[in-house]
Chain A
Amino acid sequence: KQEVTQIPAALSVPEGENLVLNCSFTDSAIYNLQWFRQDPGKGLTSLLLIQSSQREQTSGRLNASLDKSSGRSTLYIAASQPGDSATYLCAVPTPTGNQFYFGTGTSLTVIP
């Protein structure tokens, strides 16, 4: 069974800093990986979907990379802002795509 791990569990940075969130998975036979953001008491918002054929995907200040062979993905956030404070989750699909395995998330706090 796929295991998805995210390190660190919590991160606190001053505003303006660049930061990297890590996601690792045990089964490299994935065809994509998604990064989500979750605000307290809210649902999950899809940030980026990176296909297995891609190495990177960018959206604004966010950049996700994927290294299938090593079972890792990173989410890079440039010039962090207090509004970026949230929990960030990564998820990988099963081969059928019918379900996703989620990591435990990284709780990010950006201090003004």
Chain B
Amino acid sequence: EPEVTQTPSHQVTQMGQEVILRCVPISNHLYFYWYRQILGQKVEFLVSFYNNEISEKSEIFDDQFSVERPDGSNFTLKIRSTKLEDSAMYFCASSELPGSPLHFGNGTRLTVT
């Protein structure tokens, strides 16, 4: 069964550094998402992406965050200058249509020291 893949599985970075989290969505899906989950808290929406542009973003997704689909398969989340509070599990997801079943990757655990 096709799946969403995310790399790396774990990333450790120092405060102020830039990180890029990578995702390969399911190939025939058109809608892509990033969510995050701080340890012990709810899964929170960050951003959705369709047709090479952001379709919706949350208040968490400030100017420090950006997303890109650099080629036909990858979908990336960049955090320009990481803060301690950015430490979380970051999940990429994709779907065929808005509101249709979401397929999640296994996540990237980001630790900012």
Contact = CB atoms under 8 A, between A and B. Distances in A.
Contacts of A32: 99
Interface residues of B, number: 28
Interface residues of A, number: 25
A71 interface: no
Interface stretch (A13-21, A62-70, A97-105): A97-105
14 contacts: A34-B101, A36-B102, A43-B6, A44-B43, A44-B102, A44-B104, A46-B102, A96-B98, A97-B97, A99-B33, A99-B48, A102-B42, A102-B44, A105-B42
Given A102-B43, A104-B41, 5 more contacts: A31-B99, A43-B91, A44-B93, A45-B104, A103-B42
Interface of B: 4, 6, 31, 33, 41-45, 48, 50, 55-56, 58, 91, 93, 97-107, 109
